[in-house]
Amino acid sequence: MVPTVPSPALYVGDLHPDVMDSHLFDLFSSVGAVTSVRVCRDTVSGRSLGYGYVNCISSQDAAQAIEKLNHASLNGKPIRVMWSHRDPEARNSGIDGKSKGYGFVQFDSEECANSAIEKLNGSVIDGKKIYVGNFIKKSERVLPDSEPKYTNLYMKNLDDDITEELIQLKFSEFGKIRNVIIAKDAEGNSKGFGFVNFENPDSARRAIKAMNGAQLASKTLYVGRAQKKEERQEILRRLFEEKREEQLRKNMASNVYVKNIDDDVDDDALREHFSQCGNIISAIVMRDDKGISKGFGFVCYSKPEEARRSVNTLHGCMFLRKPLYVAIAQRKEDRKAQLQLQFAQHMGLMNQTVGPRPGWRPSGFVSASRPPFQPMQLPVVPNAQRQHRQSRGQMNGRMLSQSDHSIPHICHLHQLDHSLGPPKDFNSSQASFMHQK
């Protein structure tokens, strides 16, 4: 079940065994902003499991990636791209957790999939005959007769003096009619709408085509398929949600979250400072009930590119007395999904064998998870017992200064180029150790 506002995390399936993290990053970054990627691998052998995850910076970028890259070729094999749902129940359940009656199985080769179709299609599970076939994109599916069949029509904009006999006469030219009803109030006056029920669906479709928008007496008729109240409400609700989701996706990609704002900054100052990156629709500093700044706010740009420019330009820059934190704004659901993905990456890395990850590029993309552990070669110290007595009471971390390796660090989502430097007493510690030696 797709959430109301999709998270920026994507599932990528049907990957070629040779696909690495770098391949995923290069492909997906060509259509949108990407924060992290991961190809899932066997914890023992390191072999690709044929799927992975891509974390985009916004839901709009993720939706664009699905639209452009689903079934795209990567290393000579079409890939499958869909929303990532961390909750297993949401992946295989409908409304209220009920099964939708269908599902998907991904194999590592086409031969295995064809074998499963041959052996299982038409078999019986729990008393039901199942259908097993190759996956076909929704846009490519051809239905023999997808148009719904109906015979009952709803009409409105009727003049007060329009009778059921006149409606019968006008609509009978399209086919045989079962009955005609004009809704009336308690006093017998027309409410201006009614129903026409045909015997044949084709007659009903012809009547809509001819009479909808036609002039009857002094008013223009509306004629359409009659719907139950629940059905009408469901259609209106779906249209509202689709419009709301579209607006949210559009705004979220253009909305910037700003924190560590100086207490003296107001809405106008925030707008003026961020206007250097583009056209601003709104800017606000969040305040408590007493009007005191909470230290964070939001800036909404007219275009997503302007929002990304502000992140790249102003993140970490001083504004009055404080360095700003600037990032693309995320809904709570999006942040939760992103944290879950990062946690899964971290746990997967802990289970891997020690050594560089496949696809690791020191000068290129770095995933949001912790870099691989680099073992440090400690020097052999003669007369270790005496050396230990001389170093008693001193910090053991001093030994780290002999390694030529940099200190591992966790990459920040928006600060991938920042790393921790050596300790301030690095040179003095090195000299002290060499003197003791």
Q: Pick the residue with more confidence: 2 or 32?
A: 32
* Confidence label for 390 from pLDDT (cuts 50, 70 and 90): very low
| pLDDT computed for residue 431 by the predictor | 42
* Confidence label for 373 from pLDDT (cuts 50, 70 and 90): very low
| pLDDT computed for residue 250 by the predictor | 67
- How far CA 311 is from CA of 76, 248, 321, 322, 414, in Å, comes to 36, 20, 19, 16, 8
Nearest CA to 18 out of 65, 66, 79 is that of 79
| pLDDT computed for residue 153 by the predictor | 93
Task: Write out the H or E segment, with its range, that includes residue 41.
Answer: strand 34-41
| pLDDT computed for residue 12 by the predictor | 92
DSSP string, 206-248: HHHHHHTT-EETTEE-EEEE---HHHHHHHHHHHHHHHHHHHH
Could you tell me which CATH number the domain at 9-129 has? 3.30.70.330
| Arithmetic mean of pLDDT, 213-225 | 90
DSSP string, 98-145: ---S------SSHHHHHHHHHHHTT-EETTEE--------GGG---TT
Residues 6+ apart with CB under 8 A from 44: 353
Average the pLDDT over each of 101-105, 217-221, 283-287, 399-403 and give the range with the smallest value: 399-403
Q: Pick the residue with more confidence: 136 or 119?
A: 119
| pLDDT computed for residue 400 by the predictor | 40
Q: Pick the residue with more confidence: 395 or 326?
A: 326
- 77 vs 230: CA distance, rounded Å: 45
* Three-class secondary structure of residue 192 per DSSP: strand
- Report the CATH superfamily, name and number, of domain 152-225: RRM (RNA recognition motif) domain (3.30.70.330)
Strand partners, 190: 184
* Three-class secondary structure of residue 39 per DSSP: strand
Q: Environment class of residue 383 by beta-carbon count within 10 Å: exposed (0-12), middle (13-18) or buried (19+)?
A: exposed
| pLDDT computed for residue 129 by the predictor | 84
Residue 295 and residue 303 in contact, taking contact as beta carbons nearer than 8 Å: no
Residues 6+ apart with CB under 8 A from 332: none
Residue 86 and residue 28 in contact, taking contact as beta carbons nearer than 8 Å: no
Q: Is the pLDDT of residue 182 over 60?
A: yes
Residues 6+ apart with CB under 8 A from 140: none
Residues 6+ apart with CB under 8 A from 409: 371, 419, 420
Q: Is the pLDDT of residue 237 over 90?
A: no
* Confidence label for 420 from pLDDT (cuts 50, 70 and 90): very low
| pLDDT computed for residue 107 by the predictor | 77
- 136 vs 413: CA distance, rounded Å: 36
Q: Is the pLDDT of residue 90 over 60?
A: no
Q: What residues does each domain of the chain span?
A: 9-129, 152-225, 261-323, 379-437
- 60 vs 8: CA distance, rounded Å: 8
| pLDDT computed for residue 351 by the predictor | 56
Average the pLDDT over each of 137-141, 257-261, 263-267 and give the range with the smallest value: 137-141
Residues 6+ apart with CB under 8 A from 175: 198, 199, 200, 202, 203, 204, 206, 207
pLDDT tens figures, 392-417: 444 444 444 444 444 344 344 443 34
Average pLDDT, the chain: 76
Which pTM was predicted? 0.30
Report strand pairing: 152-156 vs 222-225. Answer: antiparallel
Could you tell me which CATH number the domain at 261-323 has? 3.30.70.330
**HSE on the CB side for 311, CA within 13 Å?**
21
Q: Is the pLDDT of residue 331 over 70?
A: yes
* Confidence label for 3 from pLDDT (cuts 50, 70 and 90): very low
9-129 and 152-225 share one fold: yes
- How far CA 19 is from CA of 39, 102, 302, 354, 375, in Å, comes to 8, 29, 37, 21, 27
| pLDDT computed for residue 286 by the predictor | 92
Q: Is the pLDDT of residue 19 over 80?
A: yes
